Amino acid sequence: MATASEIWRLLQQDELVGEIVIEGGDFPWLSGRFVATPAFAAWKALFDRELALLEEEDWDQWERVVDEINSKLILAAPVGPVAEFLLHVDGGQAWFRWSDEPFE
């Protein structure tokens, strides 16, 4: 389990897109402050769309966006990349769940 102030990284291949400084969580979710790098600008609209679709409960489109995020970005715990994740980014906040195994 993550601890407060632990830093997780969001990557596109080897490029840092952002960091999540863990502030808390409610299993299986972790949450924290999202610190974007300039590379996040290319992804911001997709994360905004993911949240909008989630709120609209448009599950088919939402799944397509989540699949795109997961196929192109890597979420790395302090010990290394995770197999699969579900990440929400809203401004300077992020919350996510992850697994060492692909989700069913």
Counting residues of the chain whose pLDDT is more than 90, the rounded percentage is 87
Question: Helix-strand-coil percent breakdown of the chain, rounded to 5?
Answer: 30, 45, 25
Domain count, the chain: 1
pLDDT computed for residue 87 by the predictor? 98
Q: Tell me, letter by letter, the H, E, C secondary structure of 9-42.
A: EEEECCEEEEEEEEEEEECCEEEEEEEECHHHHH
The answer to whether position 2 is within a domain reads no
> Running DSSP on this structure, what letter comes out for residue 4?
T
What pTM, to 2 d.p., does this model score? 0.91
> Running DSSP on this structure, what letter comes out for residue 82?
-
Compute the average pLDDT of residues 88-96: 97
The answer to whether position 1 is within a domain reads no
Which residues form the domain of 19? 7-99
Is it the case that residue 7 has pLDDT exceeding 90? Answer: yes
For 87, the 3-state DSSP assignment is strand
The answer to whether position 57 is within a domain reads yes
